Amino acid sequence: MSDRVPFVKVCGLSTANDVQVAVQHGADAIGFVLTTSAREVSPQQAAQLAALVPEGVATVAVFHTEDLPTVLERASAAKVGWVQLHGKRTADDVKLAKDAGFKVIRAVRRDANPEDFADWCEDLLLIDASVPGSGKSWDYAAVRELAAGRQWLVAGGLTPQNVVEALELSAATGADVSSGVECSRGVKDPALIAQFVDAAKGA
């Protein structure tokens, strides 16, 4: 790892306490899932939670297959500064989201086509497991060269116990966690959130 402190995003938060714990322990970004999921919140709920996040910590609305007009509408209602785009996207999607005033995290699966790893001028690239949300770890070193020189987050199967190793193997500039800090599907464990952020920040 470099001397730079990793960027840490905690995703799928749905309670004020979880947001506060993540922020207090130094998370750089808080993610709200605005798509069909066990972790889904409404734009209105996300807006209430985003209001608890201090300036300097990114608020991110996460989307999967929604078209871009829907993404922009929901993200605006959620009063977030970032959007995270999964699914089949184009460079135009990234440009339009940025033109609308949002910073962009573009998510790709580790086994995506090589051209999907190209620089589309997103603010952060996120490389996830082949089956996002599965909670299964994978060969984090396998994508080390694909994203060399980029600002990017490693995701998929991360826990407080393996995040340091994943950051070292992948050479990612940061990490994104969701299921790895849950006590049951969709329910975050504040103690695990704290442990994850502390571990990643110490990597």
* pLDDT tens digits along 66-81: 999 999 999 999 999 9
Burial of residue 180, with CB atoms counted within 10 A of its CB: 0-12 exposed, 13-18 middle, 19 or more buried: buried
Average per-residue pLDDT in the chain? 95
Domain boundaries, the chain: 7-201
Answer whether residue 1 shows pLDDT above 50: no
- Cβ(8)–Cβ(200) under 8 Å? yes
Class of domain 7-201: alpha beta
175 pLDDT exceeds 70?
A: yes
Q: Is the pLDDT of residue 2 over 60?
A: no
Q: Is the pLDDT of residue 7 over 70?
A: yes
pLDDT of residue 149: 86
Check whether 199 has a pLDDT greater than 90: yes
Pairing of strands 187-188, 182-184: antiparallel
Q: Is the pLDDT of residue 47 over 90?
A: yes
What's residue 37's pLDDT? 93
Beta carbons of 103 and 58 less than 8 angstroms apart: yes
pLDDT at 3: 63
pTM: 0.95
Whole-number Cα distances in Å, 179 to 69, 113, 127, 147, 156 = 28, 26, 16, 24, 9
pLDDT score recorded for residue 132: 66
- Given a cut of 60, whether residue 16 has pLDDT beyond it is yes
Q: What is the mean pLDDT of residues 25-50?
A: 98
